[in-house]
Chain A
Amino acid sequence: MTSSTTSAAPSSDILLAPSNVGVLSAPADYSADWPEWFRRGQKTAWETFQAIPQPKRTDEPWRFANLRALDLSDFTLAVPVENEAALIVRSKGFPDVAAKLIFANERLIQREATGLPPGVLLLPLEQAATDHQELFQRNFMSTPVRLGSKKFAALHRARLRTGAFLHVPKGIVIERPIEIWHWVEGEDATIFPHTLIVLEDGASASVIDRFVSANDESSLAIAVNDLTLGSGSKLTYVGVQEWSSKTTAFHLNTTEVAMNGTATALAMNFGGSYIRGESDSHLLGEGSRSVMLSINPADAEREIDQRTFQDHFAPRATSDLLYHNALSDASRTIFAGLIKVEEGAHETDAYQKVRNLILSDEAEANSMPGLEILADNVRCTHGATSGELNEDELFYMLARGIPPNQAAQLIVRGFFGTVLERLENPILEEQLGAILDRKLNLTV
């Protein structure tokens, strides 16, 4: 770990110089940490980023979105953080993890991986690209971004400097979760968190990505996670997003599940001013399963814009989406989801449910569920509901002495708790539940 002896005064020219590099200015050179072929790919990605026009209101994937949030011209590339040790101390996560990585401003500042079974790779991306080129190339951003953010994914590809790479070989089960922290620090700083997970046949793991701001600063995060599941493998992936209230963030996911594999992914969005989430699940193998969950307590003027795709290529696969939004103040949510059953994907089970709990007259929830079926004998349901707090539930709680604001928070907690239950993992449920309690200011 580095310990900086440079003065922390913000007026220092040495500190200011690198942070003045705009995120939209042409990259001068690419990091020597990466192999030559990867750097060529970065250059191509930069050209792609420039070639794709800025999203317009008339673009279907950006319907209802606040396009002003997509003006990234004020953001600059993050420079190394001032005090790594302080952030390491603040990275207090789950009590019992198999491994823990801490990234801050595009650098790996801590790696603890003593609890991993032999054969498991948990490496910074650049090392994986160098030492495991074939594995890396096969899985790194190998699937096109289809839900609208192709331009921003290209920026991510062009600019990222590091990230997490997890490879679990055939049949290996990692019992305890792996926790990965992604810190951003600095006014207008930009980071590109990346988590690439490959589970071979029969492997099993759970991974928690923690997205955090060091200070209450404006920042930009363009995060990508690619999840590749082999036959019969089992992955639980959770993104706990606690960005500052001034952060613009993109969280772009691609999940590919082979025969009888089960992917369970949960996004918990607590922070940010504009959050764009894209989740694209490919049910590639027969009997594969993708559970897509999201917990979104939206407050202040936050906009949480989520686009999802449940794409069934193989027969007898299941996708099950459950998103719960609780909207207070002048917050907005957008949900647009498509279930597509491709030709031959018979006996598909696909479910999509979005529930909006509207807690304020000024809040706005937009839901656009969609369905396209090209196979026979399928069972697909989709629906979006919006409602206010149930007065009878509220009265029941008041009649027990619970004050109205606390009662409302408990009902919201319960509303989200029903999503946590779908993880079917009591330990994660309890630990993530504790984060929920803290965020909702519940004393229970």
Chain B
Amino acid sequence: MPVPSLSILDLHASIGDKPILKGLTLEIPKGEVHAIMGKNGSGKSTLAKIMAGHPDYTVTSGDVLLDGESILGMEPDVRARLGLFLAFQYPMEIPGVTIANFIRAALQSRLPEGEDIDAIDYYENLYKKMDLLSMSRSFTSRSVNEGFSGGEKKRCEILQMAMLQPSYAVLDETDSGLDIDALKIVSAGVNSLRGPNIGMLVITHYQRLLDYIVPDKVHVMSEGRIILSGEKDLALKLEAEGYDWVEKEYQAA
């Protein structure tokens, strides 16, 4: 029995006629945190959307396996219920739907037909997770992401992750739009969820986030491929020296 993992195998994908992923391979074993870094336009966010099943993208070849099971033929909601979570770079506003009802509907969808969530347990759990993220309880009755600041939106994403307890989570530019205080809160929230039962893929443009969410492995993405993988100090080197040397080395090889 191989180690459970989220595996991306030689993945090719395009939007319309334009190829975006050109043979991307990556394995995130459960229990580890991996980071993908790369310049804007390298395809990082596209990778996240493709894994979640966004209808705008077409996978032309390759595979994505969740604990050995291919998820590419599955609808986005099926993938999510199977245990894949995407923290959005730009979370959507849903007017009139409260956070409490939204998360509850998501949890309800994971229960067998005819079984209902216990409201008291649910709120107890929700409040506990909100306290962890320093979120005021008044948030539960606010519409999802409507009128939220950047930091509030990202905290709301991590709250959902904490409530849904996925087996694999992809965090797409979770640090974008955060000031340093918000970054610390969000990172602490993410760190509290780390453990042997979850694998995480942290997508980021800046090394800064990785000071707070320290990864087990760092991968560099360029033009739809992983061109270098290394340990956590690779992030520091990228911060100091930029990406150009990686691309040169990759082309030379």
Contact = CB atoms under 8 A, between A and B. Distances in A.
Nearest to A419: B96
A415 B105 contact: no
A410 interface: yes
A444 B101 contact: yes
Interface stretch (B24-32, B87-95, B187-195, B244-252): B87-95
Interface stretch (B72-80, B208-216, B227-235): B72-80
Given A393-B92, A414-B95, A417-B96, A402 B77 contact: yes
Contact of A415 (B55, B80, B95, B104): B95
B140 interface: no
Interface in A395-436: 395-404, 406-407, 410-411, 413-418, 420-421
Contacts of A396: 88, 91-92, 94
B88 A406 contact: no
Interface string A385-398: 00000111101111
B96 A413 contact: yes
A443 interface: yes
A400 B160 contact: yes
Q: Which of A395, A401, A416 lies at the interface centre, i.e. has the most chain B CB atoms within 10 A of its CB?
A: A401
B116 interface: yes
Interface string B54-65: 110000000000
Interface in B30-65: 52-55
Q: How large is the interface on B (under 10, 10 to 19, 20 to 34, 35 or more residues)?
A: 20 to 34
A404 B55 contact: no
Contact of B96 (A390, A403, A404, A415): A415
A415 B95 CA distance: 7
Contacts of A401: 77, 80-81, 106, 109-110, 164
A410 B97 contact: yes
Contact of A400 (B55, B96, B116, B164): B164
Contact of B77 (A390, A398, A418): A398
A395 B54 CA distance: 7
Contact of A410 (B75, B86, B105): B105
Contacts of A444: 101, 104-105, 108
Given A398-B75, A399-B80, A417 B105 contact: no
Given A399-B88, A404-B77, A418-B96, 17 more contacts: A393-B93, A395-B54, A395-B55, A399-B53, A399-B80, A400-B80, A400-B109, A401-B106, A401-B109, A403-B109, A404-B75, A410-B97, A410-B102, A414-B95, A414-B143, A417-B95, A420-B96
17 contacts: A390-B92, A391-B55, A396-B88, A396-B91, A397-B77, A400-B102, A400-B109, A401-B81, A401-B106, A403-B77, A410-B94, A414-B94, A414-B97, A416-B96, A417-B95, A418-B143, A442-B105
Interface of B: 52-55, 75-77, 80-81, 85-86, 88, 91-97, 101-106, 108-110, 116, 143, 160, 164
